[in-house]
Structure 1
């Protein structure tokens, strides 16, 4: 089967790899000159099953109201005259009940475990090096109130079988001695030995090279203009070369849209309405 993957981030390229494993003919389209140059370029780099509490919880609505005027808020929400933003916001509020929160935690933990195991198997298969650190992930807190919040999150994860431990100040410093100069201001922390970290950009670009070596075609520097139906199914994608502005139409048996927050507006004209909306991102160098 011929499959076109739209988007060369970590999800798109990983999807391309597994499609190749199943014997499909794969083409990947991305507007950037290489893989992983947008959302996957500089993300949090954490493979952290233990820290997957949903944003939507019983306390979230009040917190969002308090954060409206803050540019440094962890969840930046600025109301606009955008019906899709309000649609997303209302859906978010429906997930802030205790029952929805518990259900979502179960699903996120299961998905996180599956993703982590899949990553480990893929790394073992390919030998990709991407600055991987298998040292666990430590969170430390500078106030007793924040520590109590972290401890509650750790207890929640332990109920779902995730080994997220609550540490005293001395235990935090034993895990990470480099924090010694900051020690007096540390109230405590949480630590999960099974979590790890790595560079998503490096991983994705290395996996893309291996996909290309196995026959995948990467059309970098091509913007996606739209998808067209053929009867009751998708048949073609319209793209154009950003350098020459030359338009192209590609046919396939199946399509994968892995464009992050750009997936929703791409599919909307087809009557597919995904509740995906872009969120603020912060990174430190």
Structure 2
């Protein structure tokens, strides 16, 4: 079977790789000349398999008014005359109900553990250098009340396979001395020893290079897919600026660009861009930053070591029109980072901003679209794109191959 995969971010490239390994003849198309040039370029870097609670949770809505009034808020909302924005925000609010969040956490956990196993299997077969380390993860809390709530979440996630422990402030600092800058504010942390990190762009590029070596893969980079041409109940071809691409099946994995591609087919996928920022800081010495991945919970800042670089990612801007860097947000991020890690050379940091394609409940959309018999979707991984990429690709491949799926696909099927 010939499959055309549209989109060469981490989701699209992973999908193309797993499909090709399954024996499909794959054509990968993207408007950019290189893979991972958009949302996958400089994201957070944490492979957070054991901590995939959705962004929408019961504690979010009460915090929103305070966040919106603070200049240093991790969340910024810009209302627009856009019905899609308000519909997405309403669905997000509904997803914040405790029962919905618990169910989503359990469902995302099955996908994340599949992704971990699929990633490890991939690397055993095709080793890729992307700064990959299994260094564990600390979620550091400043507020004792929030730490106590997290303790209850740890107990819930343990029932779904997570191995985590709750640490006091002293135990946290003993494990990660680099957090000394938080000593006076630190209440404690959640520690997950099995977590990993790496550079998403380097992983995607490495996997792309593997695709080049496979005889059943055709790469159509620098090819802008403008639409999908119907023939009866099927999609006959992808219309591009460099001619048509005919195939037996089509996979749309182009992130936010998928909305415009699918809308003429009557498909309105619930994706909205959540703008995030990152800093890539070169490390001259091992003791400059944390050895373990760290999430500063109240500030929503994540730190991931990738070789000789520390990736720092933060913030959610809802309603930003594009991925342009806002200098005020970067300045704020640098000030907050300097309070915790004063030895980092932030003047040498490279700043980046990107748009995360998110669903209201944080669950991706993976499976057959109702719009056409041969149309498939792999979308909406949001801030968990790197973590869920391999699992999403493995789940999609099983569905398309008509074999038993490794996990229950129902929670992720298109509506």
Q: TM-score, normalised by structure 1?
A: 0.90
Q: In structure 2, list runs of 5 or more residues that go unmatched.
A: 281-415
Structure (1 or 2) with the greater strand fraction: 2
**Equivalents in 2 of 1:237, 1:58: separation in Å?**
42
How well do the aligned residues superpose, as a CA RMSD in angstroms? Answer: 1.9
Q: Is the contact made by 1:53 and 1:153 (CA closer than 8 Å) also made in structure 2?
A: no
Which is helix-richer, 1 or 2? 1
For the residues of structure 1 that align with 2:201 and 2:119, how far apart are their CA atoms? Answer: 14
Cα distance in 2 for partners of 1:227, 1:70 equals: 44
Is residue 254 from structure 1 mapped to residue 249 from structure 2 by the alignment? yes
The 3 A distance-change label for structure 1 pair 148 and 3 is same
Q: Structure 1 residue 178: deviation in Å? A: 2.5
- Tell me the residue number matched to 1:87: 87
SS of the residue aligned with 1:278?
Answer: strand
Greater mean deviation of Cα atoms: 65-74 or 95-104: 65-74
- Contact 2:128-2:203 within 8 A present in 1 as well: yes
Q: Which residue of 2 aligns with 1:268?
A: 263
1:173 and 2:173 correspond? yes
Q: For residue 221 of structure 2, what is the aligned residue in structure 1?
A: 220
Change (3 A) 1:118 1:72: farther
SS at structure 2 position matched to 1:222? coil
Instruction: Give SS of 1:50's match.
Output: coil
Q: Distance in 1 between matches of 2:212 and 2:249?
A: 19
C-alpha change, 1:103 and 1:117, in structure 2 (3 Å) is: same
Paired residues of 1:68 and 1:78 also in contact (CA < 8 A): no
Q: Which runs of 5+ in 1 are unaligned?
A: 241-246
Q: CA deviation at 1:36?
A: 0.8
Alignment of 1:1-285 (within 5 A): 1-68=1-68, 72-180=72-180, 182-215=182-215, 216-240=217-241, 247-285=242-280
> Partners in 2 of 1:269 and 1:76 — Cα distance?
31
**Number of residues of Structure 1 aligned to a counterpart in Structure 2:** 279
Secondary structure at 1:282 match in 2: strand
Decide whether aligned partners of structure 1 residues 189 and 83 sit closer, same or farther in structure 2, where only a CA change above 3 A counts: same
Map Cα deviations across residues 156-200 of structure 1 (whole Å, 9 max, x no partner).
322433112111122212221233454344221111011111111
Relative to the length of structure 2, the TM-score reads 0.63
- Hey, what's the Cα distance between the residues in 2 that align with 1:83 and 1:52? 29
CA distance in 1, matches of 2:75, 2:107: 22
Distance 1:162 1:220 in 2: 39
How much does 1:149 deviate? 4.3
Most deviating of 64-73 and 219-228: 64-73
Residues of 2 paired with 1:70 and 1:184: CA distance?
22
